[in-house]
Amino acid sequence: KQEVTQIPAALSVPEGENLVLNCSFTDSAIYNLQWFRQDPGKGLTSLLLIQSSQREQTSGRLNASLDKSSGRSTLYIAASQPGDSATYLCAVTRAGKSTFGDGTTLTVKP
Amino acid sequence: KAGVTQTPRYLIKTRGQQVTLSCSPISGHRSVSWYQQTPGQGLQFLFEYFSETQRNKGNFPGRFSGRQFSNSRSEMNVSTLELGDSALYLCASSLTVQETQYFGPGTRLLVL
């Protein structure tokens, strides 16, 4: 059974800091790994998708890496801004089923 | 392109009733998945449909069912509602299971 763990559960940083969010999974037989952002009371917004054959993806200030052999992914956020405050979730997908971590709640203080 | 839409956005029901939630995927997307999100359990997979066929199902009781129509729109039904069914129900669509999942805003269900 796939299990996804995200560390830390919560993170508070001052504006402008670079930060790393971690995601680990137990079964490396995945199709892809996706990072999402969720604002309170809202749905999920896709940030980055990494296919199982890829090592990283970048979008603007975001960079996500994937190491399937060790069952780990990281989401790097450069020059954080107060608007980045949200819960960040990672999900691994295999055979049409996605398993989510519990998320990291990020607060960026002005 | 319009995003994933879900209706209704909010719903209040009483125990024992049944409810039907609707999801319209992004045009051209054939895979639709449903998830339940609660504070205690997080996001849990309910089921996934592709071309009108349920291909995967999560660990939920038979009270939870779904279907997908030929236009890829999907419905989820919960019968004999329980208090614990109160949750945010999210629908996601993608071209195939290996492509990016796009989520709708969700339907917030409150069971009294």
pLDDT, tens only, B54-72: 998 999 999 999 999 999 9
For residue A83, the model assigns a pLDDT of: 96
The per-residue pLDDT for range B4-32, each reduced to its tens digit, is 999 999 999 999 999 999 999 999 999 99
Positions in chain A short of pLDDT 70: none
Q: In one letter, which amino acid is B12?
A: I
CB A17 within 8 A of CB A80: yes
Q: How far is CA B54 from CA A70, B23, B32, in A?
A: 32, 15, 9
Distance from CA of A2 to the nearest CA of B (A): 12
Which residue from B32, B38, B26 is spatially nearest to B86, judged by alpha carbons?
A: B38
Beta strands B10-13 and B31-38: pairing type? unpaired
Chain-chain contact of A44 with B31 (C-beta, under 8 angstroms):
no
Distance of CA A35 to the CA centre of its chain: 4
Across the A:B interface, residue pairs with CB atoms under 8 Å apart total 59
Confidence category of residue B50, pLDDT binned at 50, 70, 90: very high
Chain-chain contact of B104 with A89 (C-beta, under 8 angstroms):
no
Q: What distance in Å separates the CA atoms of residue B8 and residue B107, rounded to the nearest whole number?
A: 6
Chain-chain contact of A99 with B42 (C-beta, under 8 angstroms):
no
For residue A43, the model assigns a pLDDT of: 87
Q: What are phi and psi of A55, to 5 degrees?
A: -105, -30
Sheet holding B74-78, edge to edge: B5-7, B19-24, B74-78, B64-68
Distance of CA A11 to the CA centre of its chain: 13
